[in-house]
Chains A and B, each alone.
Chain A
Amino acid sequence: MATTTSPPAADRVAGTARPARSAARRPRRSLLPYLLLAPAVVLELAIHVIPMLVGAWMSLLELTQFHIRDWSGAPFVGLDNYRVVFDVNSAAGAELLRSFRVTVVYTVLSVGLSWMLGTTAAVLLQRPFRGRAVLRALFLTPYALPVYTAVITWTFLFQRDTGLVNHVLVDQLRLVDEPPFWLIGDNSFVALLIVSIWRTWPFAFLCVMAGLQNVPDELYEAAAMDGAGFWRRLRSVTLPMLRPVNLVLLLVLFLWTFNDFNTPYVLFGGSAPAEADLISLHIYRSSFQTWDFGTGSAMSVVLLLFLLLVTAGYLLLTNRRRNDA
């Protein structure tokens, strides 16, 4: 690829006119895959890679509302934005740290419970029975539903005076006397978690279901022959066979949930209470409310570095265990 230096020659490589070497088929052959990939690469570069680099650059600028119209004039401030982000004594730093804590707890609970529900449902639907297809379709529906319609419905369910949740708790089960608020205060975290699990577990179910199709029936028959009960079969056959699927699934769920913006944004109508202020929404709001894109970018970069660190650690750990085994 790096043999041509002058622009006209480079143009010709990309084009079709290469009469002198058209007889030699190897170079043309090897160019074709790159041409096939070119549109995908260009798009990924334009929308993901370049903006990410620009974002890293922006985090080093004082990119406040005065400079957003003409950002080439924004002063370079080095790591000042990062100093603000990491300074837990400043209001911005303290709020970011709190949002980070909320997001960690949210992610661990949502991913863990979603994975458990998904695996349970997939295992229970493994064998044919009447109504299995209906249940499978039903369980997949939350995943297929557009996120905003699903979450907006939950907003309605969680209304204090007109919602189903309080109607059941207060009027029907009489568990509490005074209808609680769900979308502000401490309860908002619980509400957010429930909605998140409702939306997430069907994807876990879908993946585990796909993974189970690769488990040969003979394994179960052999295990049953040896007298293994349900739990024994689950522990010794199903879960080990699902390990490759679970390794990917848990990582994907972690990253999606940690970056979750839609659920709190729609559930609370734009601004989340402090108890449920997930990090993506927090960065979004602090960027667009104050129009301070420099600090917002610094927060985003820190978030990315954290996710990369966790992912790398996860991959290292799981790979080492696989090598040991």
Chain B
Amino acid sequence: MRETAAERWSRRIVLTLLAGFVLVPLYVMVSSALKPLQDVQGAFTWWPRRPTLQAFVDMWSTVPLGRYLLNSLLVASVAAIFSVSVAIFAAYAVSRYRFRGRQVFSVTVLSTQMFPGILFLLPLFLIYVNLGNATGIALYASRTGLIITYLTFSLPFSIWMLVGYFDSIPRGLDEAAQVDGAGPLRTLFQVVLPAAVPGVVAVTVYAFMTAWGEVLFASVLTNEDSRTLAVGLQGYSTQFNVYWNQVMAASLVVSVPVVAGFLALQRYFVAGLTAGAVK
């Protein structure tokens, strides 16, 4: 099947336009982070005329970026680890057992993902505040509350993707282990999980990204101490000044690890999506 010249050239043109659309903001993020403050406050220039790393130094003191970063790291990693652990057990049950309510569970869990966040933001806010007042369990304005909230956000999709992965692991392996006397949990940990490592890693990264990027609940459920990057980065725009070079520098630092992690694992995401979509 040969490609005609017209096809080849239209492909090149369309892909170049798309790449430009994607690239421009990314380029501006990088190039503006390398400019001194005066240069981002004047007319826009494509090229940083006086490149400097000063923004990467200053950004730590303009706002307490270190604390926000630590909060985000803590919240996102703990939420990701718990979310994946819970998802592994649930996905194992859905993949390997036929029980009453299996279909209901799958549909309900996936559909909660689709509901508007604002719908449970208000009640959740009130529940956390009142629970804190009544029992002293601090969920509002604490990292714990945020962790619990976030781990449910990634849960549905994590379960869905892991079911796809587990389904692709032949049952014969399970049965062989069971003949050797392994119980269900040992089968899960010694047979199924090792075969599904790429899926588990991809799901972990997905759960981390979900928590790392969440804005709505972070803006309501945190205070100055538990604030995450999602809200904290807005601190660079004050009444008098917007430190655009520092905003871009901080954005860059915050983005590179997740983007790198995602791109490194992208083929496992594609595989997970394919596995899920086949059903």
Contacts and interface: CB of A to CB of B under 8 A. Distances in A.
The 7 closest A-B pairs by CB, nearest first: A144-B262, A149-B251, A36-B93, A167-B44, A51-B120, A33-B93, A146-B213
A17 interface: no
A117 interface: yes
A206 B270 contact: yes
Contacts of A117: 18
Nearest to B98: A33
Interface stretch (A79-87, A299-307, A316-324): A299-307
B25 A154 contact: yes
A51 B18 contact: no
B73 interface: no
Contacts of B258: 144-146
Contact of A68 (B21, B46, B126): B126
B189 interface: no
A33 B216 contact: no
A300 to B, nearest CB: 4
Contacts of A161: 43
B1 A220 contact: yes
Given A37-B89, A125-B15, A156-B40, 9 more contacts: A39-B86, A40-B159, A43-B86, A140-B263, A144-B209, A214-B278, A230-B7, A280-B116, A280-B118
B93 A261 contact: no
B223 interface: no
Contact of A48 (B126, B152, B269): B152
Contact of A37 (B15, B40, B105, B126): B105
B165 interface: no
11 contacts: A34-B93, A47-B148, A51-B123, A52-B119, A121-B18, A145-B259, A148-B229, A150-B25, A162-B44, A167-B45, A210-B274
Interface stretch (B59-67, B107-115, B169-177, B194-202): B107-115
A226 B73 CA distance: 56
Contacts of A303: 116, 118-119
B269 A206 contact: yes
A270 B133 CA distance: 28
A88 interface: no
A265 interface: yes
B52 to A, nearest CB: 18
The interface size bin for chain B is: 35 or more
A137 B266 contact: yes
A206 B273 contact: yes
The interface size bin for chain A is: 35 or more
B68 to A, nearest CB: 11
Interface in A152-194: 152-154, 156-157, 159, 161-164, 166-167, 171
B86 A156 contact: no
B1 A221 contact: yes
B7 to A, nearest CB: 5
Contacts of B209: 144, 146
A106 interface: no
A83 B74 CA distance: 44
Given A37-B90, A47-B152, A146-B230, A224 B1 contact: yes
B18 to A, nearest CB: 6
Nearest to B133: A69
A43 B152 contact: yes
B174 to A, nearest CB: 14
B140 interface: no
